[in-house]
Structure formats: C-alpha cells, structure tokens
Chain A
Amino acid sequence: MRVKLARLAHARSGDKGDGSNVGLIADTPELYEVLRREVTAERVRAHFAAICRGEVERFEVPNLRALNFLLHDSLGGGGTASLATDAQGKTHGQGLLEMEIELPAEWVARLPLSAPGGHRDDPDRR
C-alpha cells in the first residue's frame, strides 16, 4: 500500500549554496533499507519538479539511518537574491515527507508510528 514518508521517517532542510539540502532519517534500520531502495535521487527530483530546477544528489549516511539530498537550484535564485518566500529551503524537509512510497501492508501495520500515541497524521487515528 502507499504511505507517506512522514509515517516512517523524519527530516530537516536548509540552504546549501544555490540550493537546499534535505536530510531524511528512517525510524528503524529496516526502514532505512526501504528508503535507500525507494527514495532515489530521480524520484526526489520528480517530487520537487515545481521547485528544483537543477540536479538532485543523494548521499548515504547509514550510521544515522539517513539519506542526504542536495536539491540544486531550488531556492529561486539563492540566498539574498531569491524572490521566494522560502528562500532558504526551510520547508523542503516537510515537503519531502509528503512523498508516497509503496510498502507491504504488513509492514505498514508494524510502523512504530502506527502504534497508539503515534503519528497524528496517521489516517487510522484521525
């Protein structure tokens, strides 16, 4: 079934030169492997098609269960020259967590944030 990355990961973003970086952190080692497989640089570029004008680079940070993405030319001009409200890519982490990936239903049931007290955005809990 399709789930948003927000169900299995968390993220932070900021500016990096003329673009932004988004760090995406999996909740468990198993989910890190899912992120490595599913969240490719190409998919991230397509997800940010309306924002990112350049290439997307991906780095693996297995010790933090994280992927780091560089979204080149994604700030509408970069730093102080940008006309965009989000000239520093502060929202890009929140944006990446909206991406949907395919996950077996039994995996979804086991997601840590599906547990009671878990994710507020979990549709089952709304």
Chain B
Amino acid sequence: MLGSRPGMKSVRVANGQGFWGDSVDAPLELLRGGPIDYLGLDYLAEVTLSIMMRQKLRDPRAGYATDFLDFVRRALPLLVAKGVKVVTNAGGLNPRACRERVFAIARELGIGDLRVGIVEGDDLLGRLPELVAAGHPMTNLDTGAPLSSVLEQVTSANAYIGAQPVASALRDGAQIVLCGRVTDTALALGPLVAEFGWASDDWDRLAAGTICGHVLECGAQATGGNFTRFWEVPDLWNVGYPIAEMSADGSFVVTKHPGTGGLVTVDTVAEQLLYEMGAPCGYVTPDVTADFTSIELAPAGPDRVAVRGIRGRPNTPFLKLSASYLDGWKAAGQVTVSGPRAIEKARLAADIVWRRLERAGVTFAEGDRRTELLGVSGVLPGILAAPAAPPEVVLRLAVRDADRAKVDRFGKEIAPLVTAGPPGVTGFAGGRPKAQEVVAYWPALLDRREVEPGLEVSVESIG
C-alpha cells in the first residue's frame, strides 16, 4: 500500500481535541478504536490564556485547561496500559500545577508509575515592560500599532513555542507532556522529532511534520467535518478523528480508525490544508518555514491519503507573540419574530430598540452596533437570496463600547419588545443580555533570543 512500505518504521500520531470545547469523547474513541502512538490535544484558542490568567490571579493553583483533567480521569488507565503518549497545551499558564493534579488523579486511580513533562517559559506577561523598554515594539501584525499603546490593558502575553522542547521532554521519558502556548503543529512535530531524530535544520522533514500537524490540528476537520460535500460523508455523528502514519523520510498517510464515520479523501485533506492559510509558500512556525505549494496528495486506499514531496526553508529569527488585552464591553441579545410580515416586524423592533436607547441618551457609533436578521441572509448578506416572506426570523442586536454602563443599558431594552413592540415577538429567554468584557487579541513578533534561553523542560515521575 502506498506510503506504508513494509519494514519501514511508521509512527501513528493522532489528534483528539481541535480546540477548547471540542468533543470530550473524541480522544477516548481514538484510544479505544485502534493503535496510536501519540495523542495530541489542543485546548488553547487565541484568548483562552487571558481567561486562564484571570483564574490564576484568583487562585495561584489554577490557570490550566480543567477539561484535560476530566480526560485524564477517564483515560489514564487505558493510556498507561497501551503506552500511548499525550502531548497537549492544556498546561496553559500553569503547567506545573496541572502536573500536580495529573499526579493526584493517578494516585487516586492506583497508578504508581507515570512520568510527566512540562514546558515553561512562554509566559512573558511579567517581562513586557522590560521588553518594551529594551526596544522591542511588538507591533500589532493586523493594525501596526505598538504594544506600548495598550500595555496597561494587557492581560496575557505568551510566545508561541516550537517542537524542540516537546521532543526533549519525550526523549526524557515523559508519557504526558504539558505545555502552555506551544504551536498547534508542534503537538505532532514534537513526537516526530523525538522518534526520528530529525535535525533542527532538516527543513524538509520539519516542514513535513509541521504540515502533518496542520492536517491534524483541527480534529475532525480533516476527516469529513466541515466538508463542503457533507452529503458524501457517512456517519458524521460517529466521525473518526484524524491519525497520521509518519515515515522517517517525511512522507505520511492521513487516515482514521476502521469502523468510524467520516471520510478521508484527497478533497477532505485538501480543504483542511487550506484552513486558516495565508501565503501558501511561507507557513512560518518557530521550527521551520513550510511550503504548502510543495505538497503532493494521492489516494492510498479507502479513507487513506498519502502526503509527500514537502519542502521547507529555514525558520525565522522571530517567535510569534500572542497577547490579549481588555478592549471595552459588548453584549448581544435576540428575539424570534413570527410571520406574517416577519421581516417588517423585525426591522420595526430593531428600530424601536435603537430609538428608545437614543431617547435615554445612549448612542453607539455605527460600527459599534449591529442588527442582524437571521433567517434572511444575516450571515451572508448580499450573497444568498433571502426569502421575501419567511415564516419567522431571529432578530439579533449587538453593541460594544468602552463604557460598561451603556452596554448594560442596551441589555435592558430587549425584553420590552415582547409587550411594547410588534405582535408575535417571542423566544426571549435566559434573562437580559449581560455585558461581557472584550478580550482582544494582539498578534506580534518578538526576537526569539529574548525567549528561548528562558524555556525550561522538566520531567518528573509520580512521587
């Protein structure tokens, strides 16, 4: 069979968690459904670390992904029995405390032999003033503004770490590696570097492992989830999460466990390769610059796709900084408006809310308030034709402002629509919309020499 030549070592790397909030059963199904060597679990979205920072400020023992501990409780006996290794960013801002909890759970479960590694040093929040003073502007990659303009509002700042510290923890015998802000692709590349001993300047193989990680990192998106031709995907309810069988030469096969639902074809893999893609010839990570225009895909049997030909170039002198800062408040509320004349009534209801707020002296800039009629092209306006007389529409209103009081005042103006608006307004449940703090994302670049000397890998056995 293509891509799995007999006698050649192949390493099976899987991903069972594409983001914080993904299926809690998927990683268990991957463990139960067949052989895998490594299981990657991603729990960090762009601003998750900001939430964890708040938790850690309240309790110094907090600040990691608690969902991961639920997984450990359910899966640890099986992980140990099968010798499957786990690499995850669940450590968040406190990998050390997370490890203590993992050890505590292991003891409760009667597991006496377990090695867990942690990677620390990506958290730069405390060093920001010093870094700014030393002449690192950490300019926002989207807006061009210097970080100094929001320094007081910053709530978390982490450098994206690459695969080498992960590989180092695995070589030191860790069965579980807990990282903070490691790249999603390093969850796969780290194990591959550890297994195959790829050199840190073996750009083609590092690129292959990185692209392998990119295919895996969003879980079921490689195996039929979010696939355009959903009607071709069997048993999506039981979708198998992705597994890569990697060979030492950097070629690999994307597949899933037999007996699962979903679909692995050149088309499903190609869609995932393009997901969140920028310039395809230069996918920059701390480890390598991968060239997506070099990838060759070929069918290799049912639910198997061979990937080869991948080329890479040297990494850059920078690491990506992922910071978050507080940027005001927002709230959104919605009601359902029945027909007849649903669109007309929804528009009237929206107008009522905005004018009553104006009467109360509460106004929002045009860009800071939003009216959506969901059901009549609310998400793709101007593209999909809206029905002229829909049986009902959902009216969704949202605002944002630096002043929390204004956002709270908006929240009080939705419920009155039920009695003091047009007829047929319903579905107002769950109380008044609450003002939420906007935690905005600040992407920037930072000289890697400011970060890498401070990275620490520690592997400990259960005591």
Contacts and interface: CB of A to CB of B under 8 A. Distances in A.
B267 A25 contact: yes
Contacts of B273: 23, 64
Contact of B382 (A50, A86, A92): A50
A77 B438 CA distance: 11
| Main DSSP-derived SS at the B contact region | mixed
A47 interface: yes
B399 interface: yes
B278 A16 contact: yes
Interface residues of B, number: 55
Interface stretch (B67-75, B249-257, B372-380, B445-453): B372-380
B296 interface: yes
B26 interface: no
A61 B271 contact: no
A48 B382 CA distance: 7
Contacts of B274: 12, 21, 23, 25, 61, 64, 66, 68
A87 to B, nearest CB: 10
A98 B384 contact: yes
Interface stretch (B27-35, B99-107, B223-231, B412-420): B223-231
B380 A80 contact: no
Contacts of A63: 293-297
Interface in B196-232: 221, 226-229, 231
A48 B270 contact: no
Contacts of A98: 380, 383-384
Interface in A24-62: 25, 47-51, 59-62
Contact of A83 (B279, B378, B399, B439): B399
A47 B383 CA distance: 7
B228 A83 contact: no
A98 B384 CA distance: 7
B332 A83 contact: yes
Contact of A81 (B271, B297, B381, B440): B440
Contacts of B332: 83
A91 B142 contact: no
B277 interface: yes
A76 B370 contact: yes
Contacts of A78: 142, 441
Contact of B228 (A10, A47, A91): A10
Contacts of A68: 274, 277-278, 280
A21 B396 contact: no
Given A21-B277, A63-B295, A77-B367, A85 B378 contact: yes
Interface in B58-91: none
Nearest to B381: A50
Contacts of B443: 17
Interface residues of A, number: 47
B440 A84 contact: no
Contacts of B400: 77, 81, 83
Interface string B279-318: 1110000000000111111000000000000000000000
**SS of A interface (majority):** mixed
Contacts of B384: 95, 98
Nearest to A49: B382
A76 B438 CA distance: 14
A14 B116 CA distance: 34
Contacts of A62: 293
A60 B292 CA distance: 10
Contacts of A76: 370
A95 B46 CA distance: 25
B330 interface: yes
B272 interface: yes
Contact of B271 (A23, A84, A120): A23
Contacts of A83: 330, 332, 368-370, 398-400
Contacts of A64: 270, 273-274, 292, 295, 297
Contacts of A17: 141-142, 443
Contacts of A51: 380-383
Contacts of A92: 380
B372 A14 contact: no
Contacts of A47: 383
B327 interface: yes
Contacts of B439: 80
A97 interface: yes
Interface string B352-370: 0000000000000001111
Nearest to A47: B383
Given A21-B278, A23-B277, A77-B367, A10 B267 contact: yes
B441 A79 contact: yes
Contacts of B368: 83
The 3 tightest CB contacts between A and B, nearest first, are A23-B274, A50-B382, A10-B228
Interface of A: 6, 10-12, 14-18, 21, 23, 25, 47-51, 59-66, 68, 70, 76-81, 83-86, 90-95, 97-98, 119-120
Given A10-B227, A63-B295, A68-B278, 5 more contacts: A6-B228, A17-B141, A80-B438, A83-B398, A120-B231
